[in-house]
Amino acid sequence: MKCDILKMFPLSLISLLAAALFTVTGGKILYAGVNESGGEFGVFSPNNTGFGLPGRFNVDYAFINKTTVDIFVDQEKINFFRVTFLMERMCPLATGLGSRFNETYFNEFADAVNYITNTKHAYALLDPHNYMRYGDPSSQPFSGPIIGDTSDANAATTAQFKTFWQELARRFVNNPRVVFGINNEPHTMPTDLILANDQAAIDGIRAAGAKQLILAPGNGFTGGHSWTQVTGNGAAPSSDFMNKLVDPLHNTAIDIHEYLDVDFSGSHDECAQPGPSNLAALTQWLQDNNLKAMITEFGGGNNQNCFQAVSDLIQYMADNDVYIGWAIWAAGPIWGTASPCCGADTGSLEPGQVNDRGGPNAFQTVWAQAVRPNIPTDLKRSGTSGLS
Ligand SMILES: *[C@@H]1O[C@H](CO)[C@@H](O)[C@H](O)[C@H]1NC(C)=O
Ligand SMILES: *[C@@H]1O[C@H](CO)[C@@H](O)[C@H](O)[C@H]1NC(C)=O
Ligand SMILES: *[C@@H]1O[C@H](CO)[C@@H](O)[C@H](O)[C@H]1NC(C)=O
Ligand SMILES: *[C@@H]1O[C@H](CO)[C@@H](O)[C@H](O)[C@H]1NC(C)=O
């Protein structure tokens, strides 16, 4: 999510409209689920480097609410959760990016991951929510030295990033239901540096002996609509580089984010962008390069137009077998009445919560209308995370 996550826009409550009915056809969707956002919270304070670090568990940040994970797995029958964390909390600034972890923070994170995977038998995507930057999350997504930027003396190196991933993967090497997400939404940096950092992460993960699925992001906030286009600061298209990744186990897919509002930011209540046609060039590129992708962030607001647009996007993934899964943005234990996406009155996807008007949140609107009818019934339930 690339906007101020807690920014609120006063909008009037839009009443619920009748449900549209959609049926799920074949397809190769293996993973379907939701973001669990919260492990990265509590650091936003522009020009105030270090604010909220290390932070207080269950006050400034939290990973999941086990009760609502139960609801998602037992009632909604999803099998996939994207669990966010902050690299500056996992690897404190004093010791830097690498193999020295804050064991307290790691254990809190691992407890969430292990609950999802070992207890609930769902898959968990580990998401360092860092925009491929490390050192100053106070004004994400823009603050912090770019990982691997050799012109910045404060930047962590690509080698350190590899070491970090090797250590994280080592700790989950025996958990088949884990998926490794290299980083959230790289942007405004050289695309060849993203390739180098992605490759270093893959190399580190495989060096640890981990065989699970890896998701590799591209540039431009890893946007699907702009995959074949120049993005911020004239950066070369992701499509020029991300087909050069080498995984000896052939178990890496492309990580895509795709919001449906006018500027693809997920900050507006109206869905003005058609997902399927905006993704056509990406889909062709995936086919041409024999690659798979997951859309690990998308969303829509609390209105009929968005219910249709979100449903269309999920259907498009089901109809095109280069897509193996998806996760909508976002549930999580400490959103409260705030909206992670798509207009102030939408609220979060966390069951049991309301929106900022006291009305139904996105779990009761967007999820009920556009997601629940499209959850495949043949999701992967066992075995090591992978492309099949
Ligand atoms: C998942 O949710 C968090 C919280 O907004 C968000 O910052 C991240 O970009 C999403 N993936 C994210 C976290 O965008
Ligand atoms: C933060 O610093 C930048 C650069 O010095 C400045 O342009 C910006 O206005 C500052 N923001 C705040 C909220 O103080
Ligand atoms: C590690 O994380 C915990 C929980 O946030 C925090 O209380 C502690 O101060 C952190 N330790 C370091 C060295 O950052
Ligand atoms: C977890 O979710 C349940 C069900 O909505 C709710 O009753 C409970 O208060 C939540 N716990 C926390 C710590 O948010």
> What does each of the 388 residues of the chain score in pLDDT, given as a tens digit?
544 333 322 222 222 222 223 333 345 888 876 656 788 999 999 999 999 999 999 999 999 999 999 999 999 999 999 999 999 999 999 999 999 999 999 999 999 999 999 999 999 999 999 999 999 999 999 999 999 999 999 999 999 999 999 999 999 999 999 999 999 999 999 999 999 999 999 999 999 999 999 999 999 999 999 999 999 999 999 999 999 999 999 999 999 999 999 999 999 999 999 999 999 999 999 999 999 999 999 999 999 999 999 999 999 999 999 999 999 999 999 999 999 999 999 999 999 999 999 999 999 999 999 999 999 999 999 999 999 9
Rounded CA-CA distance 275/257 in Å is: 11
Closest ligand 1 atom to the C-alpha of 127?
A: 11
* Residue type, position 345, single letter: D
Rounded CA-CA distance 229/239 in Å is: 8
Q: Which residue has the tokens 């962590």?
A: 156
Residues framing ligand 1 (Cβ under 6 A): 1, 5, 35, 37, 40, 84, 129, 184, 297, 329-330, 340
Residues 381, 120 contacting (CB under 8 angstroms): no
Q: pTM for the full model?
A: 0.91
User: Quick one: which ligand is closest to 129's CA?
Assistant: 1
CA distances from 246 to 61, 158, 191, 242, 252 (A): 35, 16, 16, 10, 9
Residues tagged active-site: 185, 297
- Which residues pair with residue 354 across a beta bridge? 360
State residue 376 phi and psi, 5-degree precision.
Answer: -60, 150
Please name the residues in contact with 293: beta carbons below 8 A apart, sequence gap of 6 or more.
Answer: 224, 253, 254, 255, 256, 282, 286, 322, 323, 324
Q: Is the CB of 45 under 6 A from ligand 2?
A: no
